[in-house]
Chains A and B, each alone.
Chain A
Amino acid sequence: MKIDSGSTAWMLVSTALVLLMTPGLAFFYGGMTRAKSVLNMMMMSWVSIITVTITWVLYGYSLAFDAVDNASGFLNKIVGGLDNIGLMGVNEAAYNDTFPMMVFSAFQLTFAIITVALISGTIADRAKFGAWVVFTIVWATIVYFPVAHWVWGGGWLTQLGIEDFAGGTVVHINAGAAALALALVLGKRAGWRKEPMRPHNLTLVLLGAGLLWFGWFGFNAGSELAADGTAGLAFMNTQIATAVAAGAWLVVEKFRDGHATSLGVASGAVAGLVAITPACGFVDPWAAMLIGLLAGAACAYAIGLKYKLGYDDSLDVVGVHLVGGVIGAVALGFVAAYPFLDGQNKGLFYGGGWTQLGLQVLGPVAVGAYSFVVTYIIGKVIDKVMGFRINAEAEITGVDITTHAETGYDLGTIHSSGVAAVNGPVPAPASKKVDA
């Protein structure tokens, strides 16, 4: 097995960086929910790490990346083969003679995990935990693994020539469209638009956004799958677009609402990260600024859509990830420059004609439609079989205490005085008079 040690080291680090994004997302989402459901929100991200890792090892990697050679090649357009189930045969292979295939598999696993976790933001406060666990397994199996194969694994969108550097379509449009479907399946939270549903801890949101930003360097620059010039470009473009988008969101807020907010800066940063994802290794820095500007400003408005259209996408997965993902994917059709690649269809602004733009529109439409429809069906089936939503009383009491038997915070002295002994029920009060 021939490998490059520099690239191998970078891919190992990138893999760990991308994995960190999921606990980071748990903070980002957890802070935005109400205090009574912070733990459930964070648990939905954490449990995705468990279920997706197991399914990935068993068959997910194979379905996404085993390029089967059959006579017609038709099956390979849709889904990978089964040669790598249980990660069989992965040890002996190397990716492009650059780094071990096992590292590639681990790297791609972290993408599958966060894509699933991203969806959970739409169903804050009200989902049955067991139903979510089942959903993560089924959704990864019949939506994520095939879509990753379409775009990155040699499937039909790869063959057509759609470009998605680090997962704008596979991760963000995919998760965003699924979130919209799931918001419709579960319905609105009790009291939506009547009661205040303010973020309960914006410091957690900022911590989470910071961890996402940090991890995203592995996500984007790691997606070059080598330590080289393109990785450096992707790294810098990630920084540029994120900073510009966070600033753009603040400017929109200042002029629209009168105040620049911390939730705004965190949201704008994530919108910029999302939008630059498909483009980061393919565009010049000026274009990264443009993409950041568009994403920050557009997503700041897109999050208001749910109030106009009446769906409770609780933490704005649609407004940030679907909209940001589409902006990035389509922008590539205009500004793709491919500074490090030859023989590509350049974007419209670089004299590349309409071909790439057309493909960059086709990708989001195809993936978005597939994800939305299939997710809606999965959600409805789970709802029929086991119920996807907790009952009204549990929802009003709080999903943390009713589902997990925990609360996120213990701030009052009166509440904590009722806590039981460590390993058993509360001892009965002593009947003997204690000496005064």
Chain B
Amino acid sequence: MRLITAVIKPFKLDDVKAALEQFGIKGMTVSEASGYGRQRGHTEVYRGAEYQVDLVPKVRLEVLAEEDDAEDVIDVIVKAAQTGKIGDGKVWSVPVDTVVRVRTGERGPEAL
């Protein structure tokens, strides 16, 4: 099994979610994140005092998938999250040893 993590633009979350559902992914974990990269941040001005905010709001999405599906899942995410502009984010995957469903105690692929 593999854990696929994607850091994407927040407004692309719905598209990615829909695409993953269509692909057959049943669950995912989504959290708010702050990114620091080539997109740079923005400037905020309060009573004339400028603040350079270099962290950009991002969404972090985590999906567990079976080994054979992993590359396809990554492609689905990339296709749905792409705008072609700087700041679209990154997707990566890492191997996972064990997955347990807390409710039933099922292990491995049955727990996905």
Chain A residues packing against B (C-beta within 8 Å): 196, 198-199, 253, 256-259, 261, 263-264, 267, 300-301, 303-304, 307, 316
Contacts and interface: CB of A to CB of B under 8 A. Distances in A.
B51 A196 contact: yes
Contact of B45 (A261, A301, A307, A316): A261
6 smallest beta-carbon distances between A and B, as pairs:
A257-B45, A196-B51, A303-B47, A304-B48, A263-B46, A198-B46
B48 A198 contact: no
18 contacts: A196-B51, A196-B53, A198-B44, A198-B51, A199-B46, A253-B45, A253-B48, A256-B48, A257-B45, A257-B50, A258-B45, A261-B45, A264-B47, A300-B48, A301-B48, A303-B47, A304-B48, A307-B49
Interface of B: 44-51, 53
B94 to A, nearest CB: 25
A257 B49 CA distance: 9
Nearest to A252: B48
Contact of A267 (B45, B47, B50): B47
Question: Chain B: interface secondary structure?
Answer: strand
A303 B51 contact: no
Contacts of A257: 45, 48, 50
Nearest to A259: B45
Nearest to A304: B48
Nearest to B45: A257
Contacts of B53: 196
Nearest to A195: B51
Nearest to A202: B46
A261 B49 contact: no
Nearest to A300: B48
A14 to B, nearest CB: 31
Nearest to B53: A196
A264 B46 CA distance: 8
A198 B46 CA distance: 7
For B45, B46, B53, the residue with the greatest tally of chain A CB atoms inside 10 Å of its CB is B46
Contacts of A259: 45
